[in-house]
Amino acid sequence: MSSTLVFAMLGVGAGLSLIVAGWLVRVRERDKSLAQILDLPYGERDVRVESLTETRSPIVNSTIDFAGQMVSQFDSKGSLKASLERARIPVKPGEFVVITACASLALAAFLYALTGAWVWVVLGLGLSPLFASVFVRRRIASRKRQFEEALPDALSLIASSLSAGHTFLRSIQMMCEESEPPLSEEFGRVVAETRLGDPLVDALGRMSERLQIRDLDWVVQAIRIQQTVGGRLADLLHTLADFIRARDEVRREVKVLTAEGRMSAWVLTALCPFMLLAVEFINPGYMDPMYRGWGLAVLLGTAGMVAMGASIIFKMTKIEV
């Protein structure tokens, strides 16, 4: 393979990566500007609507619309949209599909320029959607973990505000002002829904369904029961905060005890593709017999056994508390 083709493939991959990165940065900056303007009083900072709306070429718009239609057909329940919302990724499902497709092409071009084998192109096209799915799931898991860690202190702060004489809604607003994301973002959305006329308990219930956190489910159910039968809400929240702290201590201890197994799974899983790519890069023609005939069957069988072993290890180290 000539050096010109290698540089051309690398240029294509780098160009697609820069386009995707620039697109994401522009979307994030637009959302931040819009949020800042919405928080200001009326008439303090008037801007034209066109400055905050999406201005894309017709080709890009048609591509995104087509991707959105395909997603709506194959994902009628809206799981992708719900996952993006839970992960707090400011893109639409169609945009996410287009970005993933561009990343797949960029990775395939990079692997082909590095190895010169079409097997790696197919592997790159197949791994990019998997990486995108893992990224969304890890983003959701990270936000859930941060929410769970901050929830006991938030409940204690709300309970202290209730004891000082504030209303439940005002206590949540004060807690949002003192907390960090994602806690302030989710409870701020609850406050915004109540301002639109929705009952506070129903808004909390939707937040619980959206985040899917067991501790939050218990908190919402306890608040719903208290609103029905009566009682001191401050004492109830203090009790729930202490209970959640105790469960969090047990959860952290279990996580420490299973850290070795999870690290072993990651190392053993990444070792095989890393060694294969290293051998292909050091001696390009050494692995050619494995890319045809029974060699492909051996590689696919090896990949399947590695994936099965990793899933077994992760399942063994996943202990619900």
CATH number for the domain that contains residue 156: 1.20.81.30
pLDDT at 221: 92
pLDDT at 111: 73
Inside any domain, residue 23: yes
Q: Is the domain of 70 the same as that of 149?
A: no
Q: Is the domain of 87 the same as that of 20?
A: yes
Q: Is the domain of 28 the same as that of 104?
A: yes
pLDDT at 117: 67
pLDDT at 2: 54
The last residue of one of the domains, among 97, 116, 135, is 116
Q: Is the domain of 1 the same as that of 80?
A: yes
Residues for the chain: how many in total? 321
SS (H, E, C) the chain: CCHHHHHHHHHHHHHHHHHHHHHHHHHHHHHHHHHHHHCCCCCCCCCCHHHCCCCCCHHHHHHHHHHHHHHHHHCCCCHHHHHHHHHCCCCCHHHHHHHHHHHHHHHHHHHHHHHCCHHHHHHHHHHHHHHHHHHHHHHHHHHHHHHHHHHHHHHHHHHHHHHCCCCHHHHHHHHHHHCCCCHHHHHHHHHHHHHCCCCHHHHHHHHHHHHCCHHHHHHHHHHHHHHHHCCCHHHHHHHHHHHHHHHHHHHHHHHHHCHHHHHHHHHHHHHHHHHHHHHHHHCCCCCHHHHCCHHHHHHHHHHHHHHHHHHHHHHHHCCCC
Rounded-to-integer distance, Cα 118 and Cα 134, Å: 25
**Domain residues for 292?**
258-321
pLDDT at 125: 77
Inside any domain, residue 3: yes
The last residue of one of the domains, among 213, 248, 283, is 248
Q: Is the domain of 57 the same as that of 39?
A: yes
Q: Is the domain of 102 the same as that of 177?
A: no
Tens digits of pLDDT across the chain (321 residues): 455 555 555 555 555 555 555 555 555 565 566 555 555 554 445 555 445 455 555 665 667 666 767 777 777 777 888 888 888 887 888 888 888 888 788 777 777 776 666 777 777 777 778 888 888 888 888 888 889 888 999 999 999 999 888 888 899 988 888 888 888 888 988 988 898 888 888 999 999 888 888 888 999 999 999 888 878 888 999 999 999 998 888 888 888 888 888 898 888 888 888 888 788 778 877 877 877 778 888 888 888 898 898 889 888 888 876
Inside any domain, residue 133: no
pLDDT at 270: 86
Inside any domain, residue 130: no
Inside any domain, residue 134: no
Distances (CA, A) of 76 to 53, 70, 73, 85, 179: 27, 10, 6, 16, 36
Inside any domain, residue 122: no
Q: Is the domain of 1 the same as that of 112?
A: yes
Inside any domain, residue 253: no
Count of the separate structural domains present in the chain: 3
Q: Is the domain of 68 the same as that of 103?
A: yes
Inside any domain, residue 85: yes
The last residue of one of the domains, among 221, 248, 275, is 248
Q: Is the domain of 49 the same as that of 94?
A: yes
Q: Is the domain of 5 the same as that of 88?
A: yes
Residue pair 157/177 in contact (Cβ under 8 Å)? The answer is: no
Q: Is the domain of 69 the same as that of 149?
A: no
Q: Is the domain of 244 the same as that of 275?
A: no
pLDDT at 48: 53
pLDDT at 268: 86
